[in-house]
């Protein structure tokens, strides 16, 4: 990994006083004890063999020696209503942010998830920089973990990944140690214009973009209105029309966590075989898993579920901190369809959405997200979740990661599980992260709302195998399709008592009448085994 991609100058951040964007600020003002707004990552490491000494203790001491800087020394300074600033914490205490925990024996996955769920439930202290790093030892096999938590007002999930991956090396022999709190970025925070001319130019640009966004959003709203009365059609699903399910239960502060893995190469093969995208396949596996989960709880809706899909608005090569994402709704598949048909429906829905969004500016898409998510957040804050129809049923995020193996102080990174925030009106979030030849799946849910959360990654794996089987059956039917179509055609010809003889076919023997068929008919080739 090219560490220079993470930036080159932290001086601006260290001394900065900068205002935050409206999207970043929204994560602060809408945060409650029951709705924390932080994102996190759980990394599992295998320490170097034959290490002399206590590796984890030595690692922690080495991390303590790394100087903090950049955004990691900035804390919140509330401003006028509707605004806030980041200022340097002159009393910064690294020992507060760097934590050490040990799992009791045997250190299994259940124990790790219990600890991570508890850590993910706790709000970050707003009197300090809004981040923590927990070093967790005692995992089975001598492994250890890093759980990093940072407030969503600092950055989105993609930036968090870049922060965490920027501390790692590509060589197992590289003993250089980097800490996340010294990661450097070319543009740590949104810089404010200094001169009068710069402010005027910025203001004029904002006005132009505002008019454009208002025009595009008014057109979208008009299409929503017409569609609601059966006239016209918008490629965006109408907001707040998702079916209400157990996935929309009200959550309290406690959280549960679950993790799993999927093969990246096999998922790519499925996408290629079905002429869809990798993201379509991932969303389909989530849909299959969620439908099965709801069926287990006798709560499967008649209408398709609606997923909220985060989309990055960053331009290629842009590394600015803060949130630059939109959240768009995607209608999922019908519960009664086989996996292949379900994938086709999701691909079609996603393609329509992309076509609609491509005709809108990034500002318009961002404002759409703010308006819709703001309405959902307001309903949650006012205790109206049960009275207002759900905006969606699940948030599904796909974050790309590195393909090569990475190392921290000669320790091999085994897995990197993303663990995000639960959006308003929902009870669960599913995020996947690609690393080497696999997808690491992270699931966060409300403790009481989703008590059996550990089954979701398992159901996704089962859905993957079901989709593989469906593709294999389809390919088998295609290979034998020519012969399969002749059988019913021949029977139909005999029923009509046709005297014509097909080329190459034996003429019937003029003896006794042909016996009636047994009644067993081959399935037409278009039929699916799954219904």
Catalytic pick among 120, 151, 152, 347: 152
245, part of any domain: yes
Q: Which residues of 75-110 are buried (b: 16+ CB within 10 A; e: fewer)?
A: bbeeeeeeebbbebbeebebeebbeeeebeeebeee
Q: If we measure between CA atoms, which residue out of 290, 247, 280, 262 comes closest to residue 422?
A: 247
Specify the number of domains making up the chain. 1
Q: Which three-class secondary structure state does DSSP give residue 259?
A: strand
Inter-residue contact 24 to 323 (CB < 8 Å): yes
CB atoms within 10 A of CB 296: 13
Provide the CATH number for the domain around residue 266.
3.30.559
What span, in angstroms and rounded, lies between the C-alpha atoms of 331 and 348? 9
Q: Tens digit of pLDDT per residue, the chain (531 long)?
A: 444 333 333 343 434 456 677 778 888 988 999 999 999 999 999 999 989 999 999 999 999 999 888 789 999 987 766 678 889 999 999 999 999 999 999 999 999 999 999 999 999 999 999 999 999 999 999 999 999 999 998 877 777 788 888 899 999 999 999 998 885 543 444 444 444 444 434 333 433 443 333 434 444 444 444 344 343 455 566 788 899 999 999 999 999 999 999 999 999 999 999 999 999 999 999 999 999 999 999 999 999 999 999 887 756 555 555 556 778 889 999 877 789 999 999 999 999 888 877 767 777 777 777 788 888 888 888 888 888 889 999 999 999 999 999 999 999 999 999 999 999 999 999 999 999 999 999 999 999 999 999 999 999 999 999 999 999 999 999 988 754 554 443 343 334 434 333 344 444 444 444 444 343 333 322 223 333
Of 147, 175, 187, 152, which is closest to residue 5 (Cα–Cα)? 187
Q: What is the C-alpha separation between 263 and 314, in angstroms, rounded?
A: 27
Q: Judging by DSSP bridges, how do beta strands 407-408 and 438-446 pair with one another?
A: unpaired
Q: Is 262 domain-assigned? A: yes
- Do 274 and 342 form a contact (C-beta atoms < 8 A)? no
Please give the structure tokens belonging to residue 467: 């989709």
Using alpha carbons, select from 285, 303, 278, 305 the residue that is nearest to residue 430. Answer: 285
Pairing assessment for the beta strands 428-435 and 394-399 based on DSSP bridges: parallel
Chain centroid, CA 41 distance in Å: 13
Q: Supply the range of the domain harboring residue 328.
A: 231-398+441-476
Is residue 469 within a helix (H) or strand (E), and if so which, with residue range? helix 455-479
Structure tokens at 392: 């969606």
Any domain includes 165: no
Cα gap 140→57, rounded to integer Å? 17
Distance CA 395, CA 425 (A): 11
Single pTM value for the model? 0.79
**Residue-wise over 127-153: b if at least 16 C-beta within 10 A, else e?**
ebbbbbbbbbbbbeeebbbbbbbbbbb
Active site residue 152: yes
Is 140 part of any domain?
no
Cα(164)–Cα(149) distance, integer angstroms:
10
């Amino acid at each position: 990994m090219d560490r220079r991609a993470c930036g080159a100058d932290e001086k601006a951040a260290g001394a900065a006083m900068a205002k935050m964007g409206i999207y970043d600020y929204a994560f602060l003002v809408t945060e409650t004890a029951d709705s924390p707004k932080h994102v996190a990552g759980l990394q599992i490491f295998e320490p170097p063999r034959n290490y002399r000494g206590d590796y984890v203790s030595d690692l922690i001491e080495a991390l303590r020696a790394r100087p903090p800087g950049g955004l990691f020394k900035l804390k919140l300074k509330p401003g006028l209503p509707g605004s806030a600033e980041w200022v340097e914490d002159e009393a910064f205490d690294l020992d507060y942010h760097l934590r050490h925990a040990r799992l009791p024996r045997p250190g299994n996955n259940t124990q790790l998830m219990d600890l991570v769920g508890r850590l993910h439930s706790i709000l970050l202290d707003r009197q300090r920089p809004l981040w923590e790093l927990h070093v967790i030892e005692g995992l089975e096999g001598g492994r250890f973990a890093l759980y990093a938590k940072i407030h969503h007002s600092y950055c989105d999930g993609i930036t968090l990944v870049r922060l965490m991956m920027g501390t790692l090396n590509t060589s197992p022999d590289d003993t250089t140690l980097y800490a996340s709190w010294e990661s450097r970025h070319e543009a740590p925070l949104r810089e404010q214009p200094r001169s009068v001319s710069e402010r005027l130019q910025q203001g004029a640009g904002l006005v132009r973009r505002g008019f454009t966004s208002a025009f595009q959003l008014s057109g979208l709203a008009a299409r929503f209105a017409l569609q609601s009365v059966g006239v016209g059609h918008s490629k965006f699903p109408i907001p707040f029309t998702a079916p209400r399910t157990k996935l929309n239960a009200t959550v309290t502060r406690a959280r549960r966590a679950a993790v799993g893995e999927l093969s990246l190469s096999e998922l790519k093969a499925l996408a290629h075989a079905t002429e869809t995208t990798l993201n379509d396949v991932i969303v389909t596996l989530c849909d299959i898993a969620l439908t099965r989960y709801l069926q287990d709880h006798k709560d499967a809706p008649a209408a398709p579920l609606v997923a909220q899909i985060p989309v990055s608005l960053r331009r290629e090569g842009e590394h600015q901190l803060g949130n630059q994402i939109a959240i768009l709704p995607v209608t999922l598949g019908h519960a009664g369809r086989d996996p292949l048909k379900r994938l086709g429906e999701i691909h079609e829905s996603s393609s329509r959405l992309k076509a609609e969004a491509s005709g809108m500016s990034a500002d318009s898409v961002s404002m759409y997200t703010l308006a819709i998510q703001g309405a959902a957040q307001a309903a949650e804050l006012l205790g109206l979740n049960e009275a207002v129809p759900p905006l969606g049923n699940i948030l599904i995020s796909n974050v790309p990661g590195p393909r090569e193996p990475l190392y921290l102080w000669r320790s091999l990174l085994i897995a990197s599980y993303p663990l995000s925030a639960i959006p308003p009106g929902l009870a669960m979030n599913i995020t996947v992260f690609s690393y080497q030849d696999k997808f690491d799946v992270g699931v966060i849910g409300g403790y009481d709302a989703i008590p059996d959360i550990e089954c979701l990654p398992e159901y996704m794996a089962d859905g993957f195998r079901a989709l593989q089987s469906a593709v294999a059956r389809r390919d088998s039917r295609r290979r034998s399709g020519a012969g399969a179509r002749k059988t019913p055609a021949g029977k139909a010809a005999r029923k009509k008592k046709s005297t014509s003889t097909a080329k190459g076919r034996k003429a019937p023997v003029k003896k006794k009448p042909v016996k009636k068929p047994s009644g067993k008919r081959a399935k037409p080739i278009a039929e699916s085994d799954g219904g």
